[in-house]
Amino acid sequence: MGATIIEKIVRNNTGKEVHPGEIVTVNVDRVMIHDIFIPFVASKFEEMGFTKIWDADRAVLIYDHLVPASQVDDTRHFRIGNEFAEKYGMKNVHRADGICHQLMTEAGYVKPGDIVFGTDSHTTTYGCVGAFSSGIGYTEMASILGTGTLWIRVPETIKVEITGTLPENVMAKDIILKLIGDLGADGATYKALEFTGDTVENMTVASRMSMANMAIEAGAKCALFAPDEKTAQYCGITLTEKERDLTGDADAQYCRVIQYRAEDFVPVMACPSNVDNVKPVSELAGKEIDQVFIGSCTNGRLEDLMAAADILKDRHVAPFVKLIVTPASRKIYREAAANGTLEILARAGAIITHPSCGLCCGRTGGILTDGEVVVATNNRNFLGRMGTSKVEIYLASPKSAAACAVEGRIIVPKVK
Amino acid sequence: MDKFTGKVWVLGDDIDTDIIIPTEYLALKTVQDMAPYAFSPLRPELAGQIRDGDMIVAGKNFGCGSSREQAPEIIKALGVRCVIAKSFARIFFRNAINNGLLLIENDKLRDAVSEGDEITVVLNHFIEHQGAQYPITPLPQNLVEILNAGGLVQAMKKRNNSKGI
Amino acid sequence: MGMTIAEKIIAAAAGVETVKPGDIHTVELDRLMSNDGTTHLTIDMYHKLKNPRIADVNKLVWIMDHNVPCDSVKTAASHKKMRDFAREHKITFYEGAGVCHQVMLEKHVTSGELIFGADSHTCAYGAVGAFGTGVGCTDYLYAMVTGHSWLLVPETLRFNLKGKLGDGVYARDLILSIIGQIGANGANYMAMEFGGEGLKTLNMSDRIAVCNLCVEAGAKTALMEVDEITLAYLKEHGREPKHVFQSDPDASYARVYEIDLSAIRPIVAKPHFVDSVVDAKECVGTHIDEAFLGSCNNGRIEDLRVGAELIKGRKVHPLVRFLVVPASAEVYRQALAEGIIDTFMEAGAIVMNPNCSVCWGSCQGVIGEGEVLISTGTRNFKGRAGHKDSFVYLASAATVTASAIKGEIATAADIAG
């Protein structure tokens, strides 16, 4: 019988056939720990009685939520992280290079078929290169650091097939928001999502990343894209036979198959205060906004900034509206500086911050107050996520967000 | 047969981790420092009202969102004996078990109880509320072991002690 | 009897022929600048007035710079108050344009003006020959609703500059040396006036750096003689001078200092006072956790160029957080065009959007308990940059950048070769 991508990855890892529902112990290829949780990982690790990391080169420590520090105790996390890395010989430490999920794929820490766990829920992102990656808590991270293993329940797979050509004003973000809206916030809980179809095949790895990133918002354990030539190029590798085989077999068992025609997609937004509260932008048009945020591990990549710049070129952000742009990584920032994107954005009045989580994690980067409305390209719009509980957060694609910034109200993006 | 009785606090669907503990408070040094802010975006007064042995009964997808493990730790620190929900988000589920916080999945109870009601939980068997019984599905064995050890830290400690490292 | 520049500006603003130190005059104000540090408090007081009105809204310039982008729920509320009020009353308003004083100098201030700013470093405007002075909310509000205020005519300290700063020595070293010499209250209530042949060797950025920091010696204002460099700057920014005042030969000064620019050396101000200055060499080797290149004092393109030239081809020390914060959006775009932003990014710096950053210690970039910052900011008071038990050293862009590379306090000479 055929297998889904996740079943193949787990099979390759454990050396035995697996079926959904089984509980198996996997060998972990890579782990990612970020600044918010490093103090907890460090203390749990030592409390558990471990004295060395199973393989320090497989661990990556990334400071991103707290960069630059906005509260006086934040730098404590850096100090503890630095001490932990030094003590246990961790060499892969990024102190101000951008958002963890962007760096994990961009810096080559993740390859197709890898099993990766991270202390952040959006660790599902690495499915964009065909890796099984998922978020865990700090206690489990401490235990992986000691043992190199973790138990998992082999998930059922939901196949999402998308075919055709997307309308010009629609981005991958609109697809994943629509899917989350259709599935519901718990529609894929404990399950794997597998994306196929020519629309997906024609997408950049960056776009696939936006989609895999948000799979958690439907509760998914992971989201997978079959590795292809684009993946190989992105990762700087030649795909092996085994990696090429990481596709869902024709006779694989799926618990659900969902099909979309790309032409049917329209720009959408997730409305306050749930990611699955998705509506077409056209239904929301006219609503006045106070701020726009373009950034995050969901939509802070070069293609996102360029899509925004395309709309903002020779225009200006509406009076009294703030446009905050936070590139996802140092590399992206530099590329956007080199190709003129940052100049276009700055000239349009954007506030361009250092690469980090920024507003998405709600600690800085444009906090709002009662009655304010923000259109944001990140992944969550939960109550209180970006300030008080009376802030309305609309999640959108970079094209929609940029168009709203110019207009000062919600508007369907028109592509020039 | 393990059983306990307590008062319930009733919450809705999709209680996310930003509601359980907003990011603003995550850099506080200890879980005890964070506990007073639990559920503050939704019900700022709730953390102060919960008493030892109380239970939370919620709708579907409880704990969705971030991997922040402070969420179950804080709920435990508030004295909550267990959380009963229609369903749980997966990271929260793992984190709760790893911290020895009991979770029970039941899709009927939530719509039957009112805040302040008393319920009785008979572990691994059923929940009793005003004479009605709601069945509990037993947890997989590997999770029972973690829970019995008092959480993953204790389980690992035991393992490492027995290996003599 | 002759008058100083400060006296002439006040006389003009008061509509009188002459003034002398100690006189109190009612003066007409040209501009009123306020930022997000205190504007919400001014608004609260405004609403408590009976039938409040703004005398001349064209005089008001409001600038958000202290916490941009907003970094707390509390600030978000005061920001909204400021933004809403500005919108309602059609006040000239900037958010994201940069640090208030830099924005004022780029877009508004001209020579001969009398300006109140609800920020102590308003004395920076003396660089273009304007009388700028910092005031509190109450004074600001009074000026806002009446268009005028009262002013005690200050005595003037005269600084005659001669010679030229040596290589690797900057305007910042000059003003820190002067503050060290006269002390943190050496110019209390007074105006500090700069002139002489040496002034010609200081470009506009240098002059802003010098005037900006005069409040750290207690000065009410700082003023520089207007010359062709000033006029060229104003022209470049599309402005005409209001008045060009020079001090009279027989003006009376409380004291006159002769400053030989060629004798100035790289300086560091040690924690926790700006006048606690020593030769930078004495601090070399001091451990640092963070370095900051930015602020209204030293975040201009000239300062960024100094840092970029030093760091090009080198890396920020892995354990140091090196914040590079252009003083304005204009500076940022210029630095972007010159490739300076990329030089800093390549080296591993944290390039923040134009704002006050750690200079005021309650926004992004704050330092923690026991940490040490070397900064081009304006102040090194205890707790200024974050935790109450932390340490701030003030130095030039060159020394700050060299330190960021070395991981400890170093001068440009220490990293050469």
| Regions of chain A short of the pLDDT cut 50 | none
The nearest CA of chain A is from the CA of C370 a distance in Å of 10
The nearest CA of chain A is from the CA of B91 a distance in Å of 6
Contact (CB<8Å) C353/A337: no
What is the predicted pLDDT for the residue at A127? 98
In 3-state terms chain B splits into helix, strand, coil percentages (rounded to 5) of 35, 20, 40
Quick one: pLDDT band at residue B1, thresholds 50, 70, 90?
low
Burial of A115 (0-12, 13-18, 19+ CB in 10 A): buried
Partner residue facing A385 (CB), from B18, B28, B60 = B18
Name A111's Cβ contacts closer than 8 Å, sequence gap at least 6: A29, A129, A131, A235, A237, A243
Residue B95 lies in a domain: yes
Residue B149 lies in a domain: no
- Please, what's the b/e burial string for C182-211 (b: 16 or more CB within 10 A of its CB; e: otherwise)? beeebbeebbbbbbbebbebbebbbbbbbb
Contact (CB<8Å) C368/A76: yes
pLDDT at B164 over 90: no
Chain C interface includes A368 (CB < 8 A): yes
Residue B26's closest chain A neighbor by CA? A36
Closest CA to B70 of B101, B31, B36: B31
Looking at chain C, how many residues does it have? 417
Closest CA to C358 of C321, C332, C330: C321
Closest CA to A385 of A358, A361, A356: A361
Residue B99 lies in a domain: yes
Among C84, C330, C350, C367, the strongest candidate for a mutation testing the A interface, having the largest count of A CBs within 10 A, is C350
Q: A residues 235-294 near B, CB within 8 Å?
A: 274
Residue B66 lies in a domain: yes
Q: Which chains reach chain A with 3 or more Cβ–Cβ distances below 8 angstroms? A: B, C
Residue B117 lies in a domain: yes
Contact (CB<8Å) B152/A140: yes
Q: What is the spatial distance between Cα A317 and Cα A406, in angstroms, rounded to a whole number?
A: 4
DSSP state of C313: T
Backbone angles phi, psi at B76, to 5 degrees: -65, -40
Strand runs labelled E in C91-233: 92-95, 114-117, 131-134, 148-152, 156-162, 191-195, 221-224
Rg of chain A over CA atoms, in angstroms?
Answer: 20
DSSP H helices, C269-382, are 295-298, 301-311, 329-337, 340-347
pLDDT tens for chain C, residues 1 to 417 = 899 999 999 999 999 999 999 999 999 999 999 999 999 999 999 999 999 999 999 999 999 999 999 999 999 999 999 999 999 999 999 999 999 999 999 999 999 999 999 999 999 999 999 999 999 999 999 999 999 999 999 999 999 999 999 999 999 999 999 999 999 999 999 999 999 999 999 999 999 999 999 999 999 999 999 999 999 999 999 999 999 999 999 999 999 999 999 999 999 999 999 999 999 999 999 999 999 999 999 999 999 999 999 999 999 999 999 999 999 999 999 999 999 999 999 999 999 999 999 998 878 999 999 999 999 999 999 999 999 999 999 999 999 999 999 999 999 999 976
Residue B46 lies in a domain: yes
Residue A347's closest chain C neighbor by CA? C333
What is the predicted pLDDT for the residue at B137? 87
Backbone angles phi, psi at A169, to 5 degrees: -95, 10
What is the predicted pLDDT for the residue at B147? 85
For tokens 């307590």, the residue is B6
Instruction: Tell me which chain A residues have a C-beta less than 8 angstroms from the C-beta of C317.
Output: none
Are B16 and B38 within 8 A, CB to CB?
A: no
Domain that holds residue B96: 3-137
What is the predicted pLDDT for the residue at A416? 64
Look at strands A291-295 and C391-394 and give their pairing. unpaired
What is the predicted pLDDT for the residue at C101? 98
DSSP state of A318: P
Instruction: Tell me which chain A residues have a C-beta less than 8 angstroms from the C-beta of B17.
Output: 121
Domain count, chain B: 1
Q: Which chains reach chain C with 3 or more Cβ–Cβ distances below 8 angstroms? A: A
Residue B154 lies in a domain: no
Chain B interface includes A26 (CB < 8 A): no
Partner residue facing B69 (CB), from A48, A138, A147 = A138
Residue A360's closest chain C neighbor by CA? C71
| pLDDT tens sequence across A205-263 | 999 999 999 999 999 999 999 999 999 999 999 999 999 999 999 999 999 999 999 99
What is the predicted pLDDT for the residue at C417? 62
CA B47 to chain centroid, in Å, comes to 14
Tokens of A399: 């094209």
Which domains can be identified in chain C, with CATH numbers?
Answer: 5-262 (3.30.499.10), 268-412 (3.30.499.10)
Q: A residues 172-211 near B, CB within 8 Å?
A: 185-186, 189-190
What is the predicted pLDDT for the residue at B150? 87
Backbone angles phi, psi at B50, to 5 degrees: -65, 135
- Please, what's the b/e burial string for A335-348 (b: 16 or more CB within 10 A of its CB; e: otherwise)? bbbeeebbbbbbbb
What is the predicted pLDDT for the residue at B24? 81
Which domains can be identified in chain A, with CATH numbers?
Answer: 22-152 (3.30.499.10), 155-265 (3.30.499.10), 268-407 (3.30.499.10)
Task: Report the percent of chain B where pLDDT is more than 70.
Answer: 98
Residue B24 lies in a domain: yes
Among B13, B23, B74, B137, the strongest candidate for a mutation testing the A interface, having the largest count of A CBs within 10 A, is B23
The nearest CA of chain B is from the CA of A311 a distance in Å of 31
Instruction: Tell me which chain B residues have a C-beta less than 8 angstroms from the C-beta of A36.
Output: 26-27, 68
Backbone angles phi, psi at A266, to 5 degrees: -130, 160
Determine which helix (DSSP H) or strand (DSSP E) holds A151, and give its type and residue range: strand A149-153
State chain C's maximal CA–CA distance in angstroms: 67
Residue A342's closest chain C neighbor by CA? C336
What is the predicted pLDDT for the residue at C143? 97
What is the predicted pLDDT for the residue at A28? 98
pLDDT at B72 over 90: yes
Chain C interface includes A205 (CB < 8 A): no
Average of pLDDT values for B38-53? Answer: 96
Contact (CB<8Å) A354/C352: yes
Q: What is the spatial distance between Cα C133 and Cα C156, in angstroms, rounded to a whole number?
A: 14
Burial of C138 (0-12, 13-18, 19+ CB in 10 A): exposed
Domain CATH number, residue B35: 3.20.19.10
What is the predicted pLDDT for the residue at C315? 98
Peptide linkage before A267 cis (omega within 30 of 0)? no
What is the predicted pLDDT for the residue at C18? 96
DSSP state of C154: P
DSSP-derived 3-state class of residue B23: helix
What is the predicted pLDDT for the residue at B28? 84
What is the predicted pLDDT for the residue at C361? 82
Q: What does pTM read for this prediction?
A: 0.96
Burial of B131 (0-12, 13-18, 19+ CB in 10 A): exposed
